[in-house]
Every structure is written in structure tokens, then in C-alpha cells.
């Protein structure tokens, strides 16, 4: 049986849909979870979807994903730009890792252009709002198949 894909979300993403829809879209995180879970189901895959405002909790979940996930989708939000702890944890995950950002980091403030997560990620999707999460599921599905063939 294929292990679930972990989808981890960082600080303040729990407030999605309440402000700045032009940057982040108008869906709530619960809407995104529902869409991602339904899409994964069409591919025969399961999703574990979580959000935390706490760096250490995200690190714990990344460590959990090492043995319990088939792949990892991560939007570490502001921690992407600051957290060597999250980078170190991601470097221990020997599974496909897709970094997702709702907004296009390269059209925003210069401090958002660097992400520590990118150093450990298999690939990066940004600027496509909620669609980025769905494409990340597709990417992991393909990467897992390539690996298991």
C-alpha cells in the first residue's frame, strides 16, 4: 500500500481566505485541504494535511514524514525564508519534496526571493495560488511511479 502524501503548512496559513486574496487567493486552508484530498483520491493516493504556526512542530512532522509518507508537499510560509532547522529536517527525508507557495515569490519583496526549503526540495511551484497544491500532488504521483517502476 502506498503511504500518504504529507502536506505541511506553516505560520498564518490558517488565516487564508480572510485577507489579501489578490496575493494568496480566496480559498481557505480547509478549502485547499478538501480539494487536495479529492484530487489525490482520483490518483489512488491519501493525504495527511496539517498546519502549524510553530517551527518545532513542523520539524517534528517532517521527521514523521521520513517513515510515514511517500512524499512531502510543504508551504513553510515565512519560515521558508528563515529556517535552517526546517532545511536540516527536510534534508533527512529521502522522498520527493515539492515546495509550494501560493504567491509568486519572485514578483514580491526581495527578502522573499530566497527560500531555505528550495535547497532540499525536488521541485518548486509558486504563484499559482491553490492550483499549486494540486500540481504538487500530480508531481509526487509521477515521481513515486518513476521510482517504483
Q: What is the DSSP letter of 139?
A: H
Q: Is 149 in the site for ligand CA2 (CB under 6 A)?
A: no
> Would you call 105 helix, strand, or coil by DSSP?
helix
Interface with ligand CA2 (CB under 6 A), residue from 2, 3, 4, 15: 15
Question: Shortest distance, CB of residue 136 to ligand CA2, whole angstroms?
Answer: 12
In order, the DSSP letters of 15-32 are GTTSS-HHHH-S--HHHH
Q: Is 101 in the site for ligand CA2 (CB under 6 A)?
A: yes
Task: Compare residues 2 and 53 and give the one whose CB is closer to ligand CA2.
Answer: 53
Q: How many residues bind ligand CA2 (CB under 6 A)?
A: 16
For 145, half-sphere exposure in the C-beta direction (CA atoms, 13 angstrom radius) is 9
CB under 6 A: which stretch of 14-22, 44-52, 82-90, 137-145 binds ligand CA2?
A: 14-22
Q: Is 24 in the site for ligand CA2 (CB under 6 A)?
A: yes
Residue 112 CA to residue 104 CA, distance in Å, equals: 9
Query: What are residue 111's phi and psi, to 5 degrees?
Result: -70, -10
Amino acid at each position: 500500500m502506498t503511504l500518504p502524501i504529507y502536506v505541511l503548512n506553516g505560520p498564518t496559513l490558517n488565516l487564508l481566505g480572510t485577507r489579501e486574496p489578490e496575493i494568496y487567493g480566496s480559498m481557505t486552508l480547509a478549502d485547499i485541504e478538501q480539494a487536495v484530498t479529492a484530487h489525490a483520491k482520483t490518483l489512488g493516493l491519501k493525504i495527511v494535511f496539517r498546519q502549524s504556526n510553530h517551527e518545532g512542530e513542523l520539524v517534528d512532522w517532517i521527521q514523521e514524514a521520513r517513515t510515514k509518507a511517500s512524499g512531502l508537499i510543504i508551504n513553510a510560509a515565512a519560515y521558508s525564508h528563515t529556517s535552517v532547522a526546517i532545511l536540516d529536517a527536510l534534508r533527512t527525508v529521502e522522498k520527493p519534496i515539492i515546495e509550494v507557495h501560493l504567491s509568486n515569490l519572485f514578483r514580491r519583496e526581495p527578502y522573499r526571493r530566497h527560500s531555505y526549503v528550495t535547497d532540499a526540495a525536488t521541485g518548486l511551484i509558486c504563484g499559482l495560488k491553490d492550483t499549486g497544491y494540486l500540481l504538487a500532488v500530480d508531481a509526487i504521483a509521477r515521481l513515486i511511479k518513476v521510482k517504483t517502476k
